A = this chain, B = another copy of it.
């Protein structure tokens, strides 16, 4: 069965953005290497280390749908209609935008449960990626998250938006990780322990 995987770049002290949603300190590794990893869109090509390129290419090939929160959808302006992963997107929101034209690839769901159900169907036998911190937290709380893939960045932000800010059920035990050492990033792939 496909897996639901939370994936984000995170500072060593647990932040996925600064207090103003800034990600400059966290996304630099995606453009600092020699190996190009193309995406589904012209405006985004990763340039990473050979190890990261292998890791990302394999991970990206395994993704069949993506779940995003409304905040991420808004600040990225819906990625202009096509997410770099080129997969169906499920946006969790109570108020779907009335005039969003890209209905062929975007679906709006009013709960994480519905979003996961729709994303699993859309993904077929591929995996579902959760790209927003709050949605990942809600999936964890609901027992819907199978894995957490951390791109751990060697920086301390001190303050900002924590990936796991509001866990209703903690501690959450994890298994692993599988480790891939990139350049300016360490990829850590954990499995969520299920009793």
Residues of A within 8 A of B (CB): 11-14, 25, 140, 148, 150, 152, 154-159, 162-164, 166-167, 170-177, 179, 181, 186, 188, 190
Contacts and interface: CB of A to CB of B under 8 A. Distances in A.
A171 B28 CA distance: 14
A interface majority secondary structure: strand
A150 B11 CA distance: 13
B150 A172 contact: no
10 contacts: A11-B171, A12-B148, A12-B188, A154-B173, A155-B171, A155-B173, A158-B167, A158-B170, A159-B167, A186-B188
A148 to B, nearest CB: 8
A13 to B, nearest CB: 5
A99 B14 CA distance: 41
Contact of A179 (B155, B156, B176, B181): B181
Contacts of A177: 154, 186
A17 to B, nearest CB: 12
